[in-house]
Chains A and B, each alone.
Chain A
Amino acid sequence: MHSKVKEQFQVSPPMVFFLIHAMQVGVGMLGFQRIVAKYSGYDSWIAVLIAGVLISILISMMYFVLKTNHNDIIEIHRNLFGKWAGGVLSLIIILYFYALGILVIRTYIEVIQVWVFEDMPTWILALLAGYFFYYVIEGGFRTVTGLCVAGVFIPSILFFVLLMPLQYADFLNFLPVWKHSVKNILLGARETTLTYLGFELLLLFYPFIKDGQRSQKWAQLGHWASVFVYTLLMFVTLSFFSEGQLDMTIWPTLTLLKVIEFPFIERFEYLGISLWLIIVIPNIAMAFWGASRGVKRLFSIKQRYVIIVMMIVMVFILPPLDNRQAVNTLNDIISQIGFWVIVAYITFIYIVQFIVQKIGRKRSS
Chain B
Amino acid sequence: MNFFKRKKSFQAASPKSKNLSEWLSALSDGNEDFMEEIIETPYGNIKICYYTTLIDHQRLNVDFLQPLKTTPWRTYKDIQRNIYVDDTAVTNDIPTTNERLLQGFAACQLPDRKEEVLLINAPADVQREVSIPETEFSVIGPQEAFVEKLETNIFLIRKRLPIEDLRIRKLKIGTLSSTETAVFYIDGIADQENVNTIIQRLKEVNFDDVLGANALAQMIQDHSYTVFPQFVNTERPDRVAASLAEGKVVFMSNGSPQAIIGPSTLVELFSSLEDYYLPWHIASFVRMLRLFSVGFSILATPVYVAVLTYHYEMIPKDLLSTLIASRSNIPFPPLIEALFLEFTIELLREAGARLPTKVGQTIGIVGGIVIGQASVEAGLTSNILLIVVALAALASFTTPVYQMGNTVRIIRFPFIVMSAMFGAIGIALMLAFVIAHLIRLESLGRPYLAPFYPLRFTDWKDTFVRLPYNMFQQRPQQMRPKSKARKKASKTQKNKDIDE
Interface residues of A (CB under 8 A from B): 11-12, 14-15, 112, 116-117, 120, 128, 132, 135-136, 139, 142-143, 145-147, 149-150, 153-154, 263-267, 270-271, 273-275, 277-278, 281
Contacts and interface: CB of A to CB of B under 8 A. Distances in A.
A116 B455 CA distance: 34
Interface stretch (B130-138, B201-209, B348-356, B432-440): B432-440
A139 B448 CA distance: 14
Given A146-B453, A270-B424, A277 B436 contact: no
B435 A150 contact: yes
A128 B454 contact: no
B313 interface: yes
Interface of B: 310-311, 313-317, 319, 422-425, 427-429, 431-433, 435-437, 439-440, 449, 452-455
Contacts of A143: 436, 439-440
A278 B436 contact: no
B424 A274 contact: yes
Nearest to B439: A146
B315 A266 contact: yes
A67 B440 CA distance: 30
Contacts of A278: 428, 431-432, 435
B431 A265 contact: no
A264 B435 CA distance: 27
A112 B314 contact: no
Given A263-B316, A270-B314, A149 B453 contact: yes
Contact of A116 (B316, B424, B436, B437): B424
Given A153-B452, A278-B435, 14 more contacts: A116-B425, A120-B422, A135-B433, A135-B437, A143-B436, A145-B453, A146-B436, A146-B439, A265-B314, A266-B316, A270-B314, A270-B423, A271-B314, A273-B424
Nearest to B440: A139
B455 A277 contact: no
B142 to A, nearest CB: 37
A267 B452 CA distance: 31
B428 A274 contact: yes
14 contacts: A120-B422, A136-B436, A139-B439, A145-B453, A147-B435, A147-B436, A149-B453, A265-B314, A266-B313, A266-B316, A266-B317, A271-B314, A271-B424, A277-B425
Contacts of A267: 311, 313-314
Contacts of B311: 116, 267, 270
Contacts of A145: 453
Contact of B433 (A112, A132, A142): A132
Contacts of A147: 432, 435-436, 439
- Main SS of chain A's interface residues? helix
A167 to B, nearest CB: 19
B342 to A, nearest CB: 22
Nearest to B418: A128
A277 B429 CA distance: 7
B428 A277 contact: yes
Given A135-B433, A147-B435, A265-B316, A14 B455 contact: yes
Chain A CB within 10 Å — which of B311, B314, B425, B437 has the most? Answer: B425
Nearest to A112: B425
Contact of A135 (B314, B427, B436, B454): B436
Q: Which 8 residue pairs across A and B have the least CB separation, nearest first?
A: A146-B439, A274-B428, A274-B424, A277-B428, A139-B440, A146-B453, A267-B313, A267-B314
A147 to B, nearest CB: 6
Contact of A117 (B316, B423, B427, B449): B423
A149 B452 contact: yes
A271 B454 CA distance: 28
A150 B424 contact: no
B420 to A, nearest CB: 13
Contacts of A112: 425
Nearest to A262: B316
A270 B453 CA distance: 28
A28 to B, nearest CB: 19
Contact of A11 (B313, B436, B454): B454
Chain A CB within 10 Å — which of B311, B423, B428, B437 has the most? Answer: B428
B450 to A, nearest CB: 11
Contacts of B310: 116-117
A28 B425 CA distance: 19
B429 A132 contact: yes
A254 to B, nearest CB: 14
Nearest to A108: B425
Nearest to A137: B436
B314 A266 contact: yes
Contacts of A117: 310, 422-423, 425
A264 B429 contact: no
A143 B313 CA distance: 36
Contacts of B435: 146-147, 150, 154, 278
B295 to A, nearest CB: 12
B449 A146 contact: yes
Contacts of B313: 266-267, 270
A117 B426 CA distance: 12
A12 B451 CA distance: 14
Contacts of B425: 112, 116-117, 273-274, 277
A150 to B, nearest CB: 5
B461 to A, nearest CB: 18
Contacts of B319: 264
A116 B319 CA distance: 21
A117 B319 CA distance: 24
Nearest to A150: B435
Nearest to A264: B316
A12 B429 contact: no
Nearest to A278: B432
A277 B314 contact: no
A11 B439 CA distance: 13
Contacts of A263: 316
Nearest to B314: A267
B439 A116 contact: no
A135 B440 CA distance: 10
Contacts of B422: 117, 120
B125 to A, nearest CB: 48
A80 B310 CA distance: 55
A263 B314 CA distance: 11
B455 to A, nearest CB: 7
B453 A281 contact: no
Contacts of A14: 455
Contacts of A265: 314-316
A265 B306 CA distance: 14
A323 B439 CA distance: 35
A278 B435 CA distance: 10
A360 to B, nearest CB: 38
A194 to B, nearest CB: 25
Nearest to A145: B453
Contacts of B432: 132, 147, 277-278, 281
B427 A274 contact: yes
A3 to B, nearest CB: 23
A2 B419 CA distance: 47
Contacts of A273: 424-425
A8 to B, nearest CB: 9
